[in-house]
Structure 1
Amino acid sequence: MTSRKDFLQGVGLRLLAAFLMTAMSAAVHGAAETVPIGQIMFWRSAVALVPICLYMMWLGDFPHGLRTDRPGLHITRSVFGAFSMAMSFLSLAYLPVANAQALAYLAPVLVLPLAALMLKERLSNAIFIAIALGFGGVLLLLWDAFERPGDGALIGVAAGLAYAVTMAFVRVHTKMMTLTESSSTIAFYFAVVSAVIGLATLPLGWVALNAAVLGWLVLAGVIGGVGHIVANEAVARAPVSALAPFDFTGLIWALGFDLILFSVFPGVTGLLGVFAITFAALVVTFAGSRAVRDQSK
């Protein structure tokens, strides 16, 4: 049973994770113009090990916290997670941050049946309505991309869909792992496996890095590492289905990054999508808090 305190902490951590992971996406988008996806994966994952290890030291879990009795679960989660990362970065290479982020938000919709089936979580009518509203907002935001795909946009859309499908599995898998594994341990092994997979692409051709591109890559790694820990801490405190709609708030940040960093902004249809997604998150805030109160009676 989830307490009200745990639920609110989970929501707060999920909101912070949404901002951090969107900021990471903006950094990846900035680097992806010139850097291959495998090279970005390596830098993002290798650099992320620094904040992850520092976090484990702060908790007093390093290095003994790296021991695990379930290496198979870590391998499965990390391999699927690495594939999801590659698809996300490929999408960001061909689409604006907001459009790629919108496609990523199909993952919470796919999480719902998985959470109900694998984790036995109960889904209220309000959560179903909010998810449907948020999904409608995503479709509104993507309308212009489908109407005028442009060079490589269809590749970005396909990669974004692949990311959404695999990420739905990864999130439910992570929720199951948090019952016995710490969030920092999960994040550590994911970063190690992803870095190794990224390094394996070196023979395919990496590029020389200038100061600006290196800055994007280091920023992506640091923010991504912190965001990964925060996201895992969130799912350890509250049901996956209740947290999923809060991911939509990252779209607001994505629009801001597109405007400030890349001079891109959606039209009226995109703004309507943002409004729908924001309203969906507000609905779930009240529905989730009320559900927690009912369970605690």
Structure 2
Amino acid sequence: MARDAWVAAGSIDEFLRTTVPFLAAEPVLNTLLLTVFDRLRMEGPHAFGESDPLLLTWYGADGSAAGAVVRTPPFPFVLSDVPAAAVEAFVDLVLDGGGSGFDGREINLPLTGEEPFAAAWSARTGRSPRVLERFRLYRLDRLVPPAPAPVGKPKLAGREDVALIADFIQAFWREVEHSMPEDSRAVALRMAEGRVAEGIFWLWLDESGTPVALAGHTPPTAGMCRIGPVFTPPELRGHGYAAGATTAATRASLALGADEVLLFTDLANPISNRLYQRLGYRPVSDRARLEFAG
């Protein structure tokens, strides 16, 4: 077995066997990698697009799994908490052309990895990565529904809502500056259809019955669900619709037996950070999304 090295899994089954047990030992901190991989496990390697996913495992000095990277092009690399040496070795892989899947130019990583990554990248290229987003992971303590409740009611999304939900997903991607698939409409529609069929997307309807906000959640994975995406069109914000939709998605997650319900917020958005804390979510850890170029 490799030691102090990154090794690419040859298949989803291999990663499931070698690396998921390591990630599942800390399901809250590894929520992103676990939920993205679970989608690959359920839907196959092209669940997020036509390109094959990248599944890397860092093997430590004792030869056991000690970290991971998951990437589903065109979306960013997602890095678990790993030693600084692993971050530096990952930079080398990217710059030295590690193979298929290494063409990405964004990485989502724990705060502890940001400085080692920036230092290694700058040392190799003379350029500094650009911070696109800093965000915070929250864990539900005890759900506190909004009071007063927003006008309207929740609705479990149905097939008749797929096109609208795809609109919301595309608008959400644009807002958070994710790399957009070339066929973003087709990807958004496929995602909307799949999540609606699974019963994990909730809409908030205003007093006229018009959908005004969306909140989804992941299926239970390693005992946890994560809320997201949460989206309200800009012109409809300020009425509490996102709080209502998030409450519905949170209750649904708890009803599915989740031991932990999690969500991420953009640290640059004080309104959403206050909102989720009012709903009973408490901070756990921070991550960053960086853009880099060779």
The alignment's TM-score, normalised by the length of structure 2, stands at 0.24
- Using the size of structure 1 for normalisation, the TM-score is 0.24
Kindly indicate which of the two structures has a greater share of residues assigned to strand. Answer: 2
